[in-house]
Amino acid sequence: MRVLVTGGAGFIGSHIVEFYSNRGDEVVALDSLERGEMLRREEYGIQSNWEYLRSLKNVTPVKGDIRDFEKLKDVAAGCEVIFHAAAQVAVTSSVTDPVLDFEINAKGTINVLEASRLHDASVVFTSTNKAYGENVNKIPVTEKEKRYEYADPKYNRGIPEEFPIDLTGHSPYGCSKLSADLYVQDYAHTYGLKTGVFRQSCIYGERQFGVEDQGWVAWFVIATLSNRPITIYGDGKQVRDVLYVKDLVTAFDAFLNSHLRHEVFNTGGGPKNTLSLLELLDILEEFTRTRPRISFSSWRPADQKVYVSDISKMFRLLHWKPLVGPQAGVKKLVEFFRKKSTS
């Protein structure tokens, strides 16, 4: 088939492109490359990922912005599926410039949906657990030595898709992604598109050139290997379920190959694959024999002390489960960045 991947040079996008290229499908990878320009640091890899895409078979890289509907409409022509992974991804940036955040995440998604409707393409949308905002922090937690855990046994399997999204703070980023999330759902109900919304927890893996305010697993690896200081916002005991990126892409493909016309999935490693920031530092010390310099700062807006996805619906409907655990996945990431630093 022919697929379009928005944000194709990004972390998740590049893995989607790679997966379908390896399978022999025709892939169009659309990316504005703005993230690299905003970071102004080549080491963070947007150009590196772009060049990697050029090396893959059956891949057409196209520089373009999802805010440009005419461009988007043209590149979507003939595509059976659009994977929508392009986004403004940082909470801190959304607080600084909420208008730009909205234009990319909300308006850009409307453009993707209209292009999908025009060409009758299915849509897979990379949403976020930030859709639930600070409501998650209303769940009582227990403080352990190096992590927080949910104190309410109701959430032993994690946060379900029915968890409330109203009457809480989200951050501008959370608002723009939630708005996009709801529009993707409504295009299924109103126009009959096949759409999958994946509310992602912490996704990590190779080609994730993380920075301080986004992609924390990769950022901790990069900082540790390059002897840079790390600032922890909060106390470091905050917990996320972590999901290796290649497992994420197989979930997308399972949805596309299912009979489902529309679904929303909380997507992560689930209760068996969780890490706190402090625990990740311990794993990295085990692999690298290095402990970076750590400082602590205030909690960030709408940060969640614990977020763990209830992935039981994905298991039930998609017959999917994570295959790569945190120890193995982090080791792969360390090896990737070690190789990158010597190439």
CB-based contact 179:105 (threshold 8 Å): yes
Residue with tokens 């030595």: 145
Question: Sign (positive/negative) of CA torsion 30, 32, 34, 37?
Answer: positive
Residue 40's pLDDT is 43
Give the per-residue pLDDT at 95: 92
pLDDT score at 41 = 46
Task: Please state, rounded to an integer, the average pLDDT across all residues of the chain.
Answer: 94
What does residue 41 show for φ and ψ, rounded to 5 degrees?
-140, 110
Report the relative pairing of strands 202-204 and 239-244 from DSSP bridges: parallel
Mean predicted confidence (pLDDT) in 13-38: 90
Neighbour order of strands in the sheet with 195-200: 59-63, 26-31, 2-6, 81-84, 122-128, 195-200, 262-267
Rounded distance between C-alpha atoms, residue 77 and residue 121, angstroms: 9
Query: In CATH, what number is assigned to the domain containing residue 49?
Result: 3.40.50.720
Say yes or no to pLDDT of 332 above 50.
Answer: yes
What single string gives the DSSP state of each residue in 19-61?
HHHHTT-EEEEEE--HHHHHHT-GGG-HHHHHHHHHTSTTEEE
Contact 90, 128 (CB under 8 A): no
Enumerate the active-site residues: 173
The residue type at 181: D
Q: pLDDT digits over 272-328, tens only? A: 999 999 999 999 999 999 999 999 999 877 678 999 999 999 999 999 999 999 999
The number of distinct structural domains making up the chain is 1
Q: What is the pLDDT of residues 105-160, one digit of tens each?
A: 999 999 999 999 999 999 999 999 999 999 999 999 999 999 999 999 999 999 99
pTM of the entire structure?
0.95
| CA–CA dist 135, 304 (Å, integer) | 9
Q: 167: exposed, middle or buried (C-beta count within 10 Å: 0-12, 13-18, 19+)?
A: exposed
Burial 326-340 (b: 16+ CB within 10 A, else e): beebbbbbbebbeeb
- Beta-bridge partner residues of 26: 2
Q: Are the C-beta atoms of 269 and 201 separated by less than 8 Å?
A: yes
Of residues 38 and 335, more confidence is placed in 335
Domain of 164 in residue numbering reads as 2-342
Q: Are strands 59-63 and 195-200 parallel, antiparallel or unpaired?
A: unpaired
- 27 has pLDDT over 90: yes
Summarised one tens digit per residue, pLDDT across range 191-227 is 999 999 999 999 999 999 888 777 899 999 999 999 9
Higher pLDDT, 300 or 82: 82
pLDDT for residue 42? 43
Q: Does pLDDT of 39 surpass 50?
A: no
